Every structure is written in structure tokens, then in C-alpha cells.
Amino acid sequence: MMEYCKDVLSCLDSDTSLKIFMCLDDLADLVRVTCVSRSWRHFVIANGLCKQLCLRMFPQLSRVAFVVELNQNGAKEHAEVGSSYSMEWLSLLREHRVYAYLGRALMSSVAMNCIAKTVGASSTDNFPQESIDNTLEPRDYINGRYCYWSSDGQSNPNVPETLTYELVSQICVITEINIQPFQADFQRGSPIYSAKSVRFKMGHPKASLDVADDEMFVWTYNSPEFPMSQENRLQKFKLPEPVLCIGGILQIELLGRVQRQEMDGLLYICVSHVQVLGSSLSPPFNVDILQPSGMFVLKRDQLANHQSVVTSGNESQEILAEQRELRDYQHIVTIFRGQALGIVEDEWDEEEYDDDFDPEYAL
């Protein structure tokens, strides 16, 4: 057995240590290294490495003004007291916990249709028979009638249309939007009224009450433009990277008209069904938008920590297995700390560690 083992971090300068830890691209691994020793744990927390990794995965988090934890009673945590150093350290600990839990939620959520309800369409040909509400129904023929949304007719093929939806929560991860153009089988030739291309925006409602302000939303994400086929099928538009939608509003821009109606010679766009695939991070997480800056407060509800975001039995078993593996891992670290890892046996304050570390957010 080694008589003396030295902490490898003490042999490196801070910048080199930071570069090494920044190579970790799995938040679970980053949190687990805080189990190794007090010095490693302090280094991870002091440099905000969990926050930095979440920012690399989801740049939308750069608009977080600050984070808040809600205690077991659903109220804000107690005000910090003491020296400026202790307050700064408590703030760093809070950020570490919130972003560690957030990373777990981001990586373990199950895909679902995230549309809660419709907000409105830029135009509608025959309301309410051809309302945007029809796009929530996966079938295009119900009770003896066709079910779809139709725009107004236009002679100019470049006039765009928009469909706007409210999502299931104010903080969602969106990965894919699916759209099915409508095929009018009741018209000669069964024309398909698709758009030429689509684009997507995400954001939050604007706080302004100015009735002269035509724009009701602040858009914080704009997707690339995707070509749409003139085909009667559910067309999938996968975003280049998962997007964190803050504010719960998604808008579909339908660009370019390709189908002219024989009856009046005008160009229309018609959609039978829309899906927005992703996952909700609520109730464990929620946001407050700070108007007019557009920054937001990220809130973590500790009371909701143990509500599982996994819905299938198999996946629940996998999570339980991961938790068992973590406990085994911690036991191994306890045995080999200062030996196999080559780390000095420093003062390991188990009581302090237990107060701040919850194995659930470490996966």
C-alpha cells in the first residue's frame, strides 16, 4: 500500500486542470468526479463546470439571469447570511445543484407531443370549419367531413402564413416538428396544398400592452429553412440540434405557395396535422421571464425532484439499475481514494458532502 499519495490537481496549474475537466462531455461523469475528494469537488463547483457544460449543450441557457431553488415547502430558500465569501460559495453550490439536476432532466426525458393548444393562424379561409384547431387532430377525415386548416387565397405565391402554438410548459426541449399538408380529395385531381418550405420560431409572449404593437411574441430561436414536399404524408423536420424553448411558444412559418385552386385561381396553403416532438422539464423546472430584457430566472422545485420523467417500465428499471451502479461506484471510490487514484487522503468531511450531494442528480 502506498505510504503517500498526492492529489494530481496540486501538480497542475488551474488552467490545465480546467482544460482537463472541460473534456468531460457527460454531466453524470462531471458530477461523479465530485465524489473523488474535497479538492476535486471544490474545483468543479468553484468553476461552475456543470453550468458550463449545460451551456455548451443548450446555448439558450445563456439568458439565465440567476437560479432559484424552492425548498420542501415550496417557498424560496432562506436568505443567505454571513461573509461575502460564504454567500458567494452558497451561490456557487446552488448553481451547481440546479444545473446538475437540469442536466439529468435534459438527458433522461422521454419524447412526447409538446403542443398544449393553438394560439392562432395568420389567416383562415373558412372559420371555424377550417380552423387551426383542426391541425391538432391526427385524422384528416372525421364524422363525414374533412379536418384541416386552410389559409386565405392569394395571387402572390410569396405571401407567407404562420401557425402558432402554445407548448405544454414554459421550458421544453424541442427536437423535431412534423407537418402533414392537406390533400383535397373532394377537388378534381386531388391537389395537395403544401408550402414550398418551412421555418420555425420559438420564444415567449411579449409583455407590452401597446395595441399598436402587431408582434405579440419575442422570438429567441429561428431555425434554418427546410424544403417541404408536395406530398400527403407526415413530413419530419428534425432540428440541427435540440432547442431549449423558453417561454412555451412555437410558430411555424409556411413559405411559398405551390398549389392553385381551380375554382378561383388563387394559391392556398392547407395543413391537416402538426406535431411538435420534445420533452417538458416541468414541474421540476420552471422559468420567470424578466421583461423587457428577455432574460429569465431558472427555478428548480425540490419538491418535484422525485417525480419521474420516464414513463415506460423498462426505462424505469434502467434508471434504478443506474442508481445501484452509482452506489457501487461511490463505495469503490471510498475504498480506493488515495490509493488507485493516486490522491492524498485529505480531510473528507462526509457530513458536509452529504448535505450537498444527492445521488439522484448524479444519475
Question: 225-265, pLDDT tens digit by residue?
Answer: 999 999 999 999 999 999 999 999 999 999 999 999 999 99
- CA nearest to 165, candidates 243, 58, 246, 274: 274
Per-residue exposure over 197-235, b if at least 16 CB sit within 10 Å of its own CB, e if not: bbbbbbbbebeeeeeeeeeebbebbebeebebeeebeeb
Return d(Cα 28, Cα 191) in angstroms, integer. Answer: 51
Question: What DSSP letter does each residue of 223-283 carry, written as one string?
Answer: PPPEE--SSSS-EEEEEEEEEEEESSEEEEEEEEE-EE-TTT--EE-EEEEEEEEEEE-TT
| The model's pTM | 0.78
Which residue would you say has higher pLDDT here, 101 or 30? Answer: 101
Q: Is the pLDDT of residue 357 over 50?
A: no
CA distance 101 to 345: 29
Query: In this structure, what C-alpha cell is assigned to residue 363?
Result: 444519475
pLDDT tens for 301-319 read 988 753 433 333 344 344 4
Q: For residues 343 and 36, is the Cβ–Cβ distance under 8 A?
A: yes
Stretch 290-296: mean pLDDT, rounded? Answer: 88
121/251 Cα distance (integer angstroms): 9
Domains of the chain, by residue range, sit at: 1-108+281-306, 110-279
Confidence of residue 217 (pLDDT cuts 50, 70, 90): very high
Euclidean distance between CA atoms 159 and 196, whole angstroms = 11
Extract the C-alpha cell encoding 69: 431553488
Q: How far apart are CA 16 and CA 9, in angstroms?
A: 9
Q: What is the predicted pLDDT for the residue at 320?
A: 43
**334-to-45, 62, 272, 331 alpha-carbon distances in Å:** 20, 36, 59, 5
Q: For residue range 332-355, what is the model confidence (pLDDT) as tens digits?
A: 444 444 443 443 444 444 444 444
pLDDT single digits (tens) 260-283: 999 999 999 999 999 999 999 999
Lowest mean pLDDT among 14-18, 71-75, 206-210: 71-75
User: In this predicted model, what pLDDT tens digit does every residue of 32-49 receive, in sequence order?
Assistant: 888 878 888 888 888 888
Superfamily of domain 110-279: Galactose-binding domain-like (2.60.120.260)
In this prediction, residue 109 carries a pLDDT of 72
Q: What is the pLDDT of residue 305?
A: 54
Gap between the Cα atoms of 350 and 200, Å rounded: 49
d(CA 69, CA 243): 23
